[in-house]
Amino acid sequence: MQIIEALKDSELLGGLDESRLEKISTLFQGDTCPKDAIIFDEGHEAAELYLLQSGRVALEMQVQPMPDGPVIPTALEVISKGECFGWSALVEPHFYTLAARCMTNSTVLAISGKTLRDAMADDPLLGYQIMGKLAEIVAHRLADTRLRLTSGLGLILLKQEIGAGVAKAS
């Protein structure tokens, strides 16, 4: 019953009817992850989809600002209770686009991507509802990332413009 309540509270599955929640709840496995644990790495095969029950998880990208410089893990998103991550397990080519690292001790519910895809194929309405919600989640995250990137770029361009104006005035 506790898993069903967690699924009801999740951003991805919260709108499903009780019978579908009961059906897929048996497919999830709970796990605890200590602070700084890597749940999955960027570029690895996406085997599982996760729902965060407690804690915080950073979704990170490996960034190399300078060609010969170090690679720096850079957080693009922070996942909170009820949010999903690892959606690449549902979308081809099934490789994680980011890494997931626990910022705190965390509890997750995990489901095999293949198992969930099979359940969605067996129940097309379930698949339609999940994929529709997933598209909404991915679109919001893309918009948030775009806003963060353009806001940061705007500040950089503004600083360059101000610096250029000071140089001209000198």
DSSP string of 132-159, one letter each residue: HHHHHHHHHHHHHHHHHHHHHHHHHHHH
In which residue are the tokens 């999955």 written?
40
Domain limits, the chain: 2-169
**pTM, entire model:** 0.86
Q: What is the pLDDT of residue 164?
A: 56
Nearest Cα to Cα of residue 83 among 40, 44, 41, 140:
140
- Asked if CATH classification 3.30.470.20 holds for the domain at 2-169, the reply, yes or no, is no
Question: Averaged over 93-113, what is the pLDDT?
Answer: 98
Task: Give me the mean pLDDT over the 93-116 stretch.
Answer: 98
Report the sign of the C-alpha dihedral through residues 102, 73, 78, 88, in that order: negative
| Helix (H), strand (E) at residue 71 | none
Residue 161 is predicted with a pLDDT of: 57
